[in-house]
Amino acid sequence: MIKSLAANEHVVRVYDQSRKWFERAERVLPGGVNSPVRAFRSVGGDPPVIAGAAGAVLVDVDGNEYIDYIGSWGPMILGHREATVVAALRAAVDTGLSYGAPSTPEVLLAEEIISRAPGLDMIRFVNSGTEATMSAIRLARAATKRDVIIKFSGGYHGHADSFLVQAGSGAATFGLPDSPGVTAGAAQDTRCAIYNDLGSVRRLFEAEPQRIAGIIVEPVAGNVGCIPPAPGFLAGLRALCNRSASLLIFDEVMTGFRVSRGGAIELYSVRPDLVTFGKVIGGGLPVGAYGGRAELMRLVAPSGPVYQAGTLSGNPLAMTGGLATLAMLDKAAYSELERRSARLEEGLLMACKSTHVRARVQRVGSMLTLFFADHDVRNYADAQRADHGRFKKFFHAMLRRGVHLPPSGYECWFVSLAHDDQIIERTVELAGEALSEITQ
C-alpha cells in the first residue's frame, strides 16, 4: 500500500530536494517551468518536482507520494505507465524514433480516430493542441473566405496570437490583446462571446453577418473549470453557423475520447465542421490533430492551397502511444470511468455538506471541478466569482495530505482507470479532513 493511502497516517513531507531542483530550474527556465500553471503562482508556494509516476500516484524527488488528479492535464486516462502502453512504446523505440516520412502507425491511428468520431472523414496530425487549433482556424478562414473567428471569454485554445484575446466592453466589440507581444492586428479578427449565452453569439453574427468564418468552442469548457454546455447551447451554435455559412469548430483537445468513446461529438450529438484533438490521442506523448469533412480537409497542403507542415508530425512513438491507449478505451472502460467519477463527485459534495462549506462540483465524464461557490458556474464570469482564496487553502491542505490537485481553481481534475475504489474513497476522506481544517 502506498503511503498516501495508508489510513489515519499523516506523513510529514520534506521538500528539500524539490526546493533545490526548483531553484536550479528558476535560473535556466522562465519561472522555473515550461508551462505557467506548473509554477503554483495561483496558489502560492513552490511545486514538488516529480521524479516518477505509476498508476494514479506521483512521486517527487524527496520520495513523497501523491494521488494525482492532474494526469498530465488529461492524457493519462489509463493512469501513469500503464503496462500495455509502455510495452507498445518499448517495441516502437526498437524500430525508430522519427522518420520524417510516411509510416504505418499514423495511418492506423487516423483510422481509429475517424472510426470513433461521428462525421469525421480525414485528419492531420500535428505536435500540440495549439498547432491543431491554429491550423483549424486557418482552414476555416480559407474555406469561407472570411476573416473573423468567434471564441468565448475564458476559453483557452492554445497560445497562438489569435486566441490570446479578451472581450472588449461589449459582446460585439473588437477583441483586445491579452498578452504583451500580441499585436492589435493579430487580435482584430477575433471576437469574444459568453459561453452558454446564445444571445451574445447571435449579436456578433448580426453585427457582421458576412465576415464570420467560424466559431471555435470547447464543447465542455475546461480551462475555466469544468462547465458543461447548457441544453441547446451547442445545437444553437450549429444552427447559427448553418444560417450564416460559417464553420463550427469543436476544440476537443481536452474532451476528445475523455468524456466518451466518441468525444463530445458523440456525447452531445452535435456535429461540428472541424474538430481538434490532443492529450488522450497520444497516450502521454506530445501530439495534436485537426480533422473534419473530406471537402474541407482536402484544402490542406499538399492536397490543396492551405499550408501547414511539421517536422515531427505523426511521430511514430506518439502514434503508438495513442493507438495503445485508445485500444483499451472500450464501452466498459467508459462505464467504469463514469462510475468512479460519479462516486468522487458524490463524495466531495457530501464532504462539503458535512463541513458546511458552500461548493459546487461540476462534472462531465471523468473531468470535474470543485468550485467554492453558492451558485452554478455557467461561464467565465461565474467562475471568477467563486472563492479562489478558499480553493488556495484547500489545495495546500490536500497537498499536505498527499493529494496532488491542479494548482488553480480554474482547472479540471482528471480521473483515470488507475483511480480504483480504494483511491477514490481515500480521496473523499482526505477532502473531508482538508475542508474541516480550512473552516476552523
**Residues known to be catalytic:** 156, 251, 279
CA angle 279, 364, 343 (to 5 degrees): 110
C-alpha cell at 64: 513523497
- Cross-strand pairs, 193: 152
- d(CA 86, CA 321) in angstroms, rounded, equals 8
| Residue whose C-alpha is closest to residue 407's, from 41, 22, 16 | 41
> By C-alpha distance, which of 343, 304, 361 is closest to 429?
343
> What distance in Å separates the CA atoms of residue 29 and residue 251, rounded to the nearest whole number?
29
Map grid coordinates 465542455 to a residue: 220
Q: Contact, 345 vs 361, CB < 8 A?
A: yes
Neighbours of 199 (CB within 10 A): 11
